Amino acid sequence: MRYDFGSDNTAGMAPAALQALIAANDGYARAYGADDVTARAADLIRQRLDADAEIRFVFSGTAANAIALSMLAWPHEAVLAHHAAHVCTDETGAPGFFGSGVGLIGLPGLSGKIEPGALQAILDEPEVGHRQPPAALSLTQSTEYGTVYTEEELRHLIEPVKLKGHGVHMDGARLANAAAAGFDLTQIARLGVDVLVFGGAKAGANCAEAIVMFDRSLARRIDNRLKQAGQTASKTRFLSAPILGLLESGDWEAGAAHANLMAQRLAAGIATRSAFALAHPVEANAVFVRMPPEAHQRLNDAGWACYRFDDGSVRFVCSWATREEAVDELLQAIATL
C-alpha cells in the first residue's frame, strides 16, 4: 500500500493527541471520569460550542450515536435520517440494539443532505399502529458525501421536527472538518440539537468520541446507561486526554483544515488532469469520483487504497496526516488510468 485514502480512520493519532495521552499516563487519577483531564476536555468542548451541556466520553462513534438515539426515541418509535447516514448503513443495527428496537427511516437528498420536502412529507403522514412513527431526526455534519450543511439548511430541517415535539441528534464524527469549512459550532445548540456526537477519532484522537447532551434532562441516569452498554471507561482519562490535546493545541481545527485543503488539492487535480468526473461537491475532507470498476481496481492494485461508496462513486478521504506529495503521486496514478 502506497497510501490509504479509503478513510480518515486509517491515519494514526495526531502528535498533540498522543502527547496528551502520554501526559495523562503520569501518576494517578480518579477513575470513571472523575479526573481533571476529563473535566478539562469537557470544559473545552463546552467552550467550542458556547453552550452548557452534560458530556461523557465513549469508545466509539457507533456507540455514541446509538446511545444518543436511544435517548430520543422509544423502542416502538423510529429515527429519521438520510438513507446514506452512518446510522443507517454502517452500524449493523446498533441504534435498534441500544434502543431496544428503535427503528430507522431513511430519507432521500442530494450529496448526503436530507431533502426538506421529503422530511416534511413523512412528518405529515398520519400515525398508525402498524409501523414505528418518527420521534427524532438524525443529522450528519459533515455528511457522508463530504458536504457541509449551512446553518439555514439545518434550520429548515430542525424547525419542523421541533414543531412536532421530536428530538434532534447530530452525528459529528467529522464535525472538525465542517468547522474548518466555516460552519459555526456555536449554532448547534441554538438551532435546537438535543444531543451531539463530538468527533475525536477522525480528527486525530484514538477511538474516542464525546456525547454532548444540550438537553440536560437526557443525562438522567446516563452513567447507568453507559455502564450497562459497556461504554464506561474505568480510566476515562485515556479517552478524554487525546481530545483534550487536540483542543488545547488547536489541532482539532488545524488538522481538519489541512485535511480539507488536501481534499481540495485532490479534487482540483482530478478535475483538470484526469478523465473522471467529481460525483459530489467537495466541501470537507472527502472526494467522490465517478470511476469505472476496472480503473478503480487498477488503482487498488497499484497500491492506492480507496473505497467504492454506496452510490457507486469511489471515495478518497484526506486526514490531518495526508501529505501534499501523496496527493500529487495519487493524481499522477489517476492520470494514467
CATH number for the domain including 276?
3.90.1150.10
Q: Is-contact 320 255, C-beta < 8 A?
A: yes
Strand boundaries in the chain, DSSP class E: 3-4, 54-58, 78-82, 103-107, 134-140, 167-172, 195-199, 209-213, 277-278, 286-290, 304-305, 307-308, 314-317
Cell digits of residue 14: 495526531
Alpha-carbon distance of 162 to 246, in angstroms, equals 33
* pLDDT value for 4: 86
Cell digits of residue 41: 476536555
CATH number for the domain including 48?
3.40.640.10
First to last CA, the chain: 18
Q: Residue 89: which of 121, 71, 73, 112 has the closest Cα?
A: 112
Quick one: CA torsion of 155, 75, 229, 38, rounded to 10 degrees?
20
Residue that terminates a domain, selected from 231, 249, 267 = 249
Same domain, 283 and 295: yes
* pLDDT value for 265: 98
CA distances in angstroms from 261 to 216, 265, 317, 322, listed in the order given: 36, 6, 11, 10
85-113 pLDDT, tens per residue?
Answer: 999 999 999 999 999 999 999 999 999 99
* pLDDT value for 234: 96
43-93 pLDDT, tens per residue?
Answer: 999 999 999 999 999 999 999 999 999 999 999 999 999 999 999 999 999
Same domain, 74 and 152: yes
Alpha-carbon distance of 3 to 325, in angstroms, equals 11
Alpha-carbon distance of 122 to 178, in angstroms, equals 27
Could you write out the DSSP letters of every residue in 196-256?
A: EEEE-GGGTSSS-EEEEESSGGGGTTHHHHHHHTT---TTTHHHHHHHHHHHHHTHHHHHH
pLDDT < 70: residue spans in the chain: 1
Residue 133 C-alpha from the chain's centroid: 25
Same domain, 235 and 92: yes
Same domain, 261 and 218: no
Residue that terminates a domain, selected from 249, 280, 309 = 249
Which residue is listed with cell 457507486? 312
Cell digits of residue 228: 450497562
* pLDDT value for 1: 66
Tell me, what DSSP letter sits at residue 146? S
CA 163, 137, 255, 239 torsion: positive or negative? positive
Name residues whose C-beta falls within 8 Å of residue 51's C-beta, 6 or more positions apart in sequence.
Answer: 186, 188, 189, 190, 214
Q: Is-contact 17 202, C-beta < 8 A?
A: no
Phi-psi region of 136 (alpha: psi -120 to 50; beta: other; left: phi over 0): beta
Same domain, 100 and 218: yes
Same domain, 128 and 232: yes
* pLDDT value for 287: 98
Residue that terminates a domain, selected from 233, 249, 265 = 249
Provide the residue range defining the domain that includes 304. Answer: 3-10+251-335
Same domain, 293 and 244: no
Dihedrals φ, ψ of 115, to 5°?
-75, 120
Number of separate domains in the chain? 2
